[in-house]
């Protein structure tokens, strides 16, 4: 084969062709990443140092004033508290319930494919449809939940419980996705471990805590990281379930909801960009802490 010498490295014609075609195949992904992710991130950081008008018109450089305003804004701190409350409910409960469902549906039971499909269905439903159904369920006058409990609870208009009601919708919506990931992880665990444990007299519960959880910990960690990131970015459920006249809006709006309101309703792109940058830094911090903490409980071998 013909070899080409370049900077001390030897490439055969085949290797050169593979190199070129490899880059050509990933080029669309790289272009999409740069155009749809990298450039918007840089532009958002840039806009956060300006006071802007409608869609960036009339930029006035204000330095760190937007950041000073964010950290002094009580509404921002309330939105952060709302976001944390949502995450505290949605993340652990969605992981725990989907893990139990995955373990149950990993067994050879009759109709498990049907059950898996039913649980996964919310993932393919339109968010608007989900919001409409749950708004009917939560309706204080003729909703199904109040009919079942014979009560008059204001599920989404009471400031004290509205954010938790939204979290319940989030849990229900993501169960199927988490369950599929856990099922994939469970099917990678060799059955020999369970057979050996059964011979030694281990119970099902003992096998779950001593075999299943340790060997499934990488999958659990992946789901945990992705769910925490998603919960910090919650927007669509709040936007579609809680309207602008709802008295619980102040106790349910998240940081992303505030970004939307300041950027596209109040036309203050600079301040909205600042909120997003702060959220980005918060997400990075939480993710780094998770990466550090996973060394104590995630087993890759």
Q: Using one digit for the tens of pLDDT, what is the confidence trace for 37-78? A: 899 999 999 989 988 755 556 678 888 999 999 999 999 999
Residue 6 has pLDDT above 50, yes or no: no
Q: How many CB atoms lie within 10 A of CB 210?
A: 13
C-beta of residue 176 within 8 angstroms of C-beta of residue 121: yes
Interval 5-16 mean pLDDT: 67
State the Cα–Cα distance between residues 79 and 44, nearest whole angstrom. Answer: 20
pLDDT of residue 27: 93
Q: What is the mean pLDDT of residues 266-272?
A: 87
Q: What percent of the chain has a predicted confidence (pLDDT) above 70?
A: 94
- Nearest-10 crossing angle of helices 112-124, 162-186: 130
Q: How confident is the model at residue 28 (pLDDT cuts 50, 70, 90)?
A: very high
Angle (nearest 5°) at CA 217 between 101 and 181: 45
pLDDT for position 140: 86
DSSP secondary structure, 273-285, as one string: HHHHHHHHHHHHH
Per-residue pLDDT of 160-201, as tens digits, reads 999 999 999 999 999 999 999 999 999 998 888 888 888 888
pLDDT tens-digit map of 97-136 = 999 999 999 887 888 889 888 888 888 888 888 888 998 9
Q: Kindly list the domain boundaries of the chain, sorted by start residue.
A: 3-47, 66-191+217-296
What pLDDT is attached to residue 289? Answer: 95
Q: In the CATH hierarchy, which top-level class contains the domain 66-191+217-296?
A: mainly alpha
**Does 1 score more than 60 pLDDT?**
no
Q: In this structure, what are the phi and psi dihedrals at residue 152, rounded to the nearest 5 degrees?
A: -130, 50
The count of C-alpha atoms lying within 13 angstroms of the C-alpha of 294, restricted to the half-sphere facing its C-beta, is 19
pTM score: 0.86
- The answer on pLDDT for 202 being more than 90 is no
């Amino acid at each position: 084969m013909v070899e080409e010498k370049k900077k001390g490295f030897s490439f055969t014609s085949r290797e050169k062709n593979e190199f070129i075609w490899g880059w050509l195949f990933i080029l669309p992904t790289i272009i999409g990443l740069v155009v749809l992710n990298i450039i918007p991130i840089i532009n958002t950081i840039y806009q956060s140092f300006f006071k802007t008008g409608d869609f960036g018109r009339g930029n006035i450089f204000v330095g760190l004033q937007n950041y000073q305003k964010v950290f002094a804004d009580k509404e921002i701190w309330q939105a952060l508290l709302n976001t944390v409350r949502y995450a505290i409910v949605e993340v652990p409960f969605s992981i725990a319930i989907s893990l139990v469902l995955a373990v149950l549906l990993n067994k050879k039971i009759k109709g498990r494919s049907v059950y898996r499909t039913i649980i996964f269905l919310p993932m393919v439903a339109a968010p608007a449809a989900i919001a409409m159904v749950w708004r009917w369920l939560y309706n204080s006058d003729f909703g199904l939940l109040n009919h079942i409990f014979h009560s008059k609870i204001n599920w989404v208009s009471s400031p004290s419980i509205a954010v938790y009601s939204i979290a319940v919708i989030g849990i229900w919506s993501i169960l199927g996705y988490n369950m599929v990931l856990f099922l994939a992880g469970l099917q990678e665990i060799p059955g020999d471990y369970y057979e050996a444990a059964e011979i030694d007299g281990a119970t099902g519960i003992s096998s779950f805590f001593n075999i299943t959880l340790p060997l499934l910990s990488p999958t659990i960690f992946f789901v945990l990281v992705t769910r925490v990131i998603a919960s910090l970015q919650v927007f669509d459920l709040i936007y579609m379930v809680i309207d602008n006249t709802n008295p619980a809006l102040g106790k349910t709006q998240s940081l992303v909801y505030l970004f939307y309101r300041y950027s596209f309703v109040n036309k203050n792109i600079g301040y909205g960009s600042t909120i997003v940058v702060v959220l980005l830094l918060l997400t990075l911090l939480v993710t780094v802490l998770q990466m550090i903490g996973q060394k104590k409980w995630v087993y890759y071998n």
